[in-house]
Amino acid sequence: MPLGVRIFLVYFLFVGLAGWFVLSTVMDEIRPGVRQSTEETLVDTANLLAEILREDVKHGRLQQSHWPELLKAYGLRQPQARIWGVEKSAVSHRIYVTDAKGVVLLDSSGVAVGQDYSRWNDVLLTLRGEYGARSTREDPADEDSSVMYVAAPIHDGEQIIGVVSVAKPNKSLQPYIERSQHRLGWLGAGLIVLGLLIGGMLSWWLSGSLRKLTRYAQAVSQGQRAELPALRGGELTQLAQAVQKMRTELEGKDYVERYVHTLTHELKSPLAAIRGAAELLESEMPVEQRQRFVANIASEGARLQQLIERLLNLALVEQRQGLEERVAVDLHALADELLQAQAARIQAAGLRGVNAIPSDLFVQGERFLLHQALANLLDNALDFTPPGGELRFDAEIDAQRVELSLFNQGEAIPEYALPRLTERFYSLPRPASGRKSTGLGLNFVQEVALLHGGELALSNLSGGVRACLRLPLA
């Protein structure tokens, strides 16, 4: 099954189920929502009538007052109101008033005067001082014949002297409920259809783009000439560019050629020095001169060994896809350990090593790699710090990351060299000897930083140079 079809089916299933669930839930909530709103209005109406009728009920003149005629006239009114598309041609409230014993004194329908309503919950609960409401079917067999009753007490001071109930048939609310459900149903169905159309277009576009990229990759694998397809979309464009770059790397071998060429150049110098010294040693010469050439051979051999070891370490780091362990690494203790290991060299050069990293600062990572990276930075800083200078480890937290820095006093890095210092085999002459290093140390540090999800930044500061490792906080 094509990927586009599978994406569309999953999208169809998700949108369909989500739309049906939301729509059915909202549909089910319309009826109780309308009834709750109506009940709230009935509460207000009942309490208003309770205040209006209080004096007449208190003095027992309710039936002799003008209220029976008013309620009869109210029942005959024809509002002819059009409410949200629904025609309302008759009033639907029923109002009745009982005394303190629950006997009906006044009824707008005229059918319950004199009857005992004390058993009905709206009257019963209200006379008890509670909220009185009930829903009763006029026809027990017809659930649509239910009527909502809401009552309010008529007070004489603290005493309840009567109850006024306001009733409204639920059937009168049904047109509004059905209208809302009908409109919501059409709107929901339209949104679902629109969502499916958008999903179909997205699936078609995505599968088409992937087909173009697949055809391009197949052509490249077969050695054919092919142009990179024009794709729209951030990730797809990046993927196409990555494929193009991979093609260039695989076909041109530029990276490998540069690597081998530079490595050969770096090995040529120490090998020539060793060979020259060995040839000279075959002839007769003073002991002091012989010792000097032997020392040269040992020095160049150590340089070759260091170059090979760093190349191996760098290759191991570059081939790794992630960290082998993630532990909390104490940066203060790590810096102390490195400064102690280089104490003899620091003292011999008359330098000052300062550890200003807070003692409670940790990062999450692989301790061995971080130790190796900081050791490379410290070696590099020692080479460029003049006698009497200062080396300072420091760290601060910035936006959930730790900026671990090593500052060394010395000459500023030339501007042309700053962007190239992390390149393989690129190195600047050491001030003391004028010789260059292997040029692999800072590249190794950068790879370690990337493995930890961080980065390496080199910059000139007033009076020296700062190397900063930005790492995630533990």
Query: Does residue 442 belong to any structural domain of this protein?
Result: yes
pLDDT in tens, the chain (474 residues): 565 566 667 766 777 777 777 767 766 667 777 778 888 888 999 999 998 988 888 888 887 778 888 888 777 777 777 776 677 777 888 899 999 999 999 888 888 888 999 999 999 999 999 999 998 888 888 877 888 999 999 998 889 999 999 998 888 777 767 777 777 777 777 777 777 787 777 777 777 777 777 777 777 666 554 666 776 666 667 776 676 676 665 554 544 555 555 556 556 656 766 777 777 777 777 878 778 778 777 766 766 676 666 556 555 555 555 677 788 889 999 999 888 888 888 888 889 999 999 988 888 888 888 888 888 888 888 888 888 899 999 998 887 788 999 999 988 888 888 888 888 767 787 776 666 666 677 877 888 888 888 888 999 998 899 999 988 876
Q: Out of 162, 178, 194, pick the residue that ends a domain.
A: 178
Q: What amino acid is encoded at 466 in this protein?
A: R
User: Residue 59 is part of a domain; what is its CATH number?
Assistant: 3.30.450.20
| Per-residue DSSP letter, 351 | -
Q: Give CA–CA dist 334/395, Å, rounded.
A: 12
Query: Does residue 242 belong to any structural domain of this protein?
Result: no
How many residues are listed for the chain in this entry? 474
Query: Does residue 11 belong to any structural domain of this protein?
Result: yes
CA torsion sign, 172 to 173 to 177 to 183?
A: positive
User: Residue 465 is part of a domain; what is its CATH number?
Assistant: 3.30.565.10
Place of tokens 């919950």: 121
Strands laid side by side in the 464-472 sheet: 352-355, 390-398, 401-409, 464-472, 455-461
Q: Do β-strands 362-365 and 401-409 pair in parallel, antiparallel, or remain unpaired? A: unpaired
Query: Does residue 22 belong to any structural domain of this protein?
Result: yes
Q: Give CA–CA dist 377/412, Å, rounded.
A: 16
Q: What is the CA angle 182-184-187, rounded to 5? A: 110
Tokens of 250: 């695989």
Query: Does residue 218 belong to any structural domain of this protein?
Result: no
Under 8 Å between Cβ of 231 and 213: yes
Q: Give tens-digit pLDDT for 447-460.
A: 888 888 888 899 99
Query: Does residue 316 belong to any structural domain of this protein?
Result: no
Which range of residues forms the domain containing residue 122? 3-178
Query: Does residue 450 belong to any structural domain of this protein?
Result: yes
Q: Out of 151, 178, 205, pick the residue that ends a domain.
A: 178
Q: Do β-strands 390-398 and 401-409 pair in parallel, antiparallel, or remain unpaired? A: antiparallel
Radius of gyration of the chain (CA): 45
Is residue 464 classed as helix, strand or coil in its secondary structure? strand
Query: Does residue 120 belong to any structural domain of this protein?
Result: yes
Q: What amino acid is encoded at 159 in this protein?
A: Q
Domain tally, the chain: 2
Q: Out of 157, 178, 199, pick the residue that ends a domain.
A: 178
Q: Give tens-digit pLDDT for 389-416.
A: 999 999 988 877 889 999 999 888 888 8
Tokens of 317: 């780091």
CA torsion sign, 118 to 120 to 124 to 126?
A: negative
